[in-house]
Chains A and B, each alone.
Chain A
């Protein structure tokens, strides 16, 4: 997934930020517009908490220091120097862990897939999202700080996904998370196979047709890619701009990751077959029958972003979806993450999915990684979020107990050094519990509920 170049870049970025933090003015290197204004300049130190850095073992009596929206230091009490000018916050009795990273969600009230065609690589979900949506408040109440918002579903390609940091923002631009140095890529491409996109023309009617349609479009993109190369040599050969082709070229160049909805074991294998044919990077999503092909998934190197549903079924290709899928992928050695698919599962209960993995036999370590760093890696954001390490974004949550216990609540959510949710604030508590008109207009039109019967 993560190639050497990106890893190396991550190291450079971290080192640069570490040194920069020492002398540069506050927030000067932050990309987010709003966060520049409100990130604190004085260091803030949390002491006394159990810290789950994810990058290493839990620290029983830990210290976390953040400044200017970044993590300055993490370690055991006594081993970390707390700067003299730091504001110190006693967090005894709490657990501090990285802000949660959700690799597949439909929050933000964006539009669903467009029914005019089965293939929309040109469509951007970011053009339709409401930054002030209640669904974002719901997610931060659940401890989610970074999210991959997906368009669709019901299409072979429903459009471009968007990676968001859930900062309070007035414009979507203030929430974007860029993953490339040119600051042009801030999302992946949502694809799907299996029954998800089967319907009347222009949609495919069978699995074989689905694969053929996708392959034909990628072959066209390969030709466009060649034309672009020729155009670079000789401007008279430059092809006309084509938004669909441009996106797919980004996919072919490995800049944009494909997020592929897939359930049945043979559909999983088809996803892998196509990705390998065209050499694109891919994350498998849902992967309901993962246990049947766990070895093949691990061998392919493609990560799996999976879901926990309280019972199997609801549609034909999910009748074998069990809590055991996560542990099976772990055992096989695949990179595994959980996602909410919100509104399918509730962002407020994201940690519950990790706990259900443990229930079925997953290690606690992998389960915690599966809602943090594993998902960050699946979006090329592993160098910025997903663990508590110096130089990374100061995105973290406070919990009043074991992160995997039913009885534990997220008490505070911090993004880039700013508190964005506080359970002890009476006005914010309802975003964690619900109540009169707390969530308005948050229906989820993204999933094709024609699959089920109307209630």
Chain B
């Protein structure tokens, strides 16, 4: 069953046309990577799904219902939760308050906050610390926890490893592997291609706001030409 379906999606910032007739689908419980160079339109694709873009056109369905005309909060309340690229932790709220706000703002089912501290032990010792006093890695963990506490039906991860130290990336990868092994549907964008390939089952490559390729991760690993052409990387076996 298709959880998310995008067909002929066009998106704009003012007069700039960013996405051109983009197609994409994510099945229930599937983990899909959205790859492409910086500026290819990955974040804009996520913004089109969450509704945080001034103008979007085309078909965007979530569980066979159109969400293209819905407001940002209405889309969120249908179960689509974003972990944004900039993390966007509320700076003057503590770790605990960030999680409480998320839990209490959620119209649907939510998960106990204590579960989040089990998943992210690093946050447990930081409960009373303000968001603005956390390191980048801690903020990223909190950003993921803040989305998870709302028990997402579709989790959108926008560049989760960006700007993080390699050791933190390893921790995050372990945690996300556990999360995606549960019944959760994920669409992830990443510059760190190896990280995305480790987590995902299928991938889309976009270039200049258009579909360039899509297929399984196994197929992609065999296509070094694609990885070099669109992502400028070589992938280790």
Chains A and B bind each other: no
Residues of B within 8 A of A (CB): none
Which residues on A are within 8 Å of B, measured CB to CB? none
